[in-house]
Structure 1
Amino acid sequence: MKIALQTFGSALFSILFFGLALFVPAGTVDYWQAWVFIAVFVVSTIGPSLYLAIRDPAAMQRRMNAGPTAEARPVQRFVVAGVVLLVVAMLVVSALDHRFGWSSVPAPVVVVGYVVVAVGLLLAQLVVIQNRYAAATVTVETDQPLASTGLYGIVRHPMYTGALIMLLGTPPALDSYWGLVAIPPGLALLALRILDEEKLLVDQLAGYREYTGQVRFRLLPFVW
């Protein structure tokens, strides 16, 4: 029950966070793209989160222990803090773009943005269902098994792939192209996180070095 309440609390926090980051810079609540985006985010995350809260509370707890202060490695604290700032910047720039009309996003492209956001979020959630040790922090637990099948048989970090997909869809979903300027520095931070994380995994997770030889791509198939 406690973890389920925490899950609902997390959903309420998301609504508040997105509401402040979008409606304040937009200068209005008459911003239908933002309302639909928030609804897509909540619907795409609440179902899988409740499933985990009921079926595997420990896995859900690993996902909720997040943020820069939860990281043990200095590089990861820097990366997570940078990602948080970039996400906020992406949302604010997208809302300002909508307010001042810097770019014009056709409604069909906005809808595609919603689909991309939902796909990215659901992919990230599916990773946790496939690998209950997929935490929000970079860590290796005692007797943690190596995940090498399912999505992990395609890329080594499918959760980050889902996060990247979601971020790519976010600005168009919010009626903005200018918000996409946050993607290149976001990719740089994501690459730094992955490279540092793999150092830890090679050292501490049994079989990971051999796994990197079997699954060549870290983030995007046939790219990297």
Structure 2
Amino acid sequence: MINKQNPIMIWLSFVVRMILFAVGLMWPAGTFIWWEAWVLVGLWSIYGVATTTYLLRNEPALLVERLKLVPLHKDQKVWDKVLMLLFFIVGIGLYLLPGFDVMRYAWSEPLPLWIRITAMFVHVPCFVLLIWIMRENTYLSQVVKIDKDRVHKVISTGPYAYVRHPMYTVTIILLFAVPLALGSQLTLILSLFLTMLLIVRTYLEDHTLHTELEGYSKYAKQTVYRLIPGIW
């Protein structure tokens, strides 16, 4: 585990992750001359710096939780381990496949420029929302659990006043924004699969919170939608 009192190790971890992110995009492409990928690396780097800076100052425990590489925990429910292991494995393909698809082998026709640019701009409000979500909910974890050590309680403010799982809502948008920004039609298949995994996880997590987190059932009556206001 990364020591929350050691910002040097946290920043080093962040740098290594961004390098791996860039390599994951560029190596399959077989070239470093891919401006869409570099824009994406730049966007995620800016978001990472902003998030790490904020959490280091205000919520170091949450930062440590979010920096865990593999979303698995010994006390995690079996169904969540299966879902997150699948999500982790397929999620790697979300970054590897576009380079093969668009740049190296041209398996599918690149998406129009206006779609790629729009998807890049979509990242910005998504990043703002993610920071807002983390500011409101300091119990965010990569695994489904009730954080008794930090006296886990229901959060009903900010984005949580509109949907019960706003983090998943934004994540689903980004699952499509990434391949769209890179112009890869083929990778959208992975986006659909990952979205289905998140929908299943949302349903199961919501049931867990109903049964294990005090006050959640009352909150669910006030905020009736899980992911999309007016729909579900």
Specify the alignment match of 1:7 in structure 2: 10
Q: Which one of the candidate residues 106, 109, 119 is aligned to 2:125?
A: 119
What does 1:139-218 correspond to in 2, within 5 Å? 139-142=145-148, 143-218=151-226
Q: What is the alpha-carbon distance in structure 2 between the residues aligned to residue 30 and residue 107 of structure 1?
A: 17
CA contact (8 A) 1:22 1:92 kept: yes
Identity %: 25
- After superposition, the CA RMSD in angstroms is 1.9
Mapped contact 1:168–1:180 kept (Cα < 8 A): yes
Counterparts of 1:69 and 1:171, CA distance in 2: 26
Q: What's the TM-score, normalizing by structure 2?
A: 0.88
CA distance in 2, matches of 1:194, 1:139: 13
Residue 50, structure 1, aligned to residue 53, structure 2: yes
Paired residues of 2:71 and 2:142 also in contact (CA < 8 A): no
Q: Retained in 1: the 8 A contact 2:72–2:84?
A: no
Say whether the 8 Å CA contact 1:155–1:215 is kept in structure 2.
yes
1:89 matched to 2:93? The reply is: yes
Residue 117 of structure 1 contacts residue 169 of structure 1 at CA under 8 Å; is this kept in 2?
A: yes
CA distance in 2, matches of 1:105, 1:61: 37
Summarize the Cα distance change of 1:14–1:119 in structure 2 as closer, same or farther, 3 Å threshold.
farther
Question: CA 1:6–1:127 in structure 2 vs 1: closer, same or farther (change >3 Å)?
Answer: farther
| Partner residue in 1 for 2:102 | 98
Distance change >3 Å, CA 70–CA 119, structure 1 → 2: farther
Which segment drifts farther, 69-78 or 153-162? 69-78
CA distances 1:118-168 after superposition (whole Å, capped 9, x unpaired): 332332232111111122221112232210121001110011111111111
1:214, 1:6 → 2: CA distance? Answer: 41
8 Å contact kept, 1:116–1:168: no
Structure 1 regions of 5+ residues with no counterpart? none
Which residue is 2:80 aligned to?
76
Aligned residue for 1:155, secondary structure, equals: coil
Structure 2 distance, partners of 1:187, 1:139, is 21
In structure 1, what residue type is equivalent to 2:97?
V
TM-score with structure 1 setting the length: 0.91
- The 3 A distance-change label for structure 1 pair 163 and 133 is same
Amino acid in the other structure paired with 1:70: H
* 1:27 and 2:30 are equivalent in the alignment: yes
**1:56 CA drift (Å):** 1.9
CA distance in 2, matches of 1:7, 1:103: 40
Q: Tell me, in whole angstroms, the C-alpha distance in 2 between the residues paired with 1:220 and 1:66.
A: 28
Give, as a single letter, the amino acid of the residue that structure 2 aligns with 1:155. Answer: V
Tell me if the contact between 2:72 and 2:143 (Cα under 8 Å) persists in the aligned partners.
no
Instruction: Name the aligned partner's letter for residue 22 of structure 2.
Output: G
Task: Name the SS for the 1:184 alignment partner.
Answer: helix
SS at match of 1:46: helix
Kept in 1, the 8 Å contact 2:117–2:181? The answer is yes
**Offset of 1:27 from its aligned partner?**
1.0
Moved more, 85-94 or 161-170: 85-94
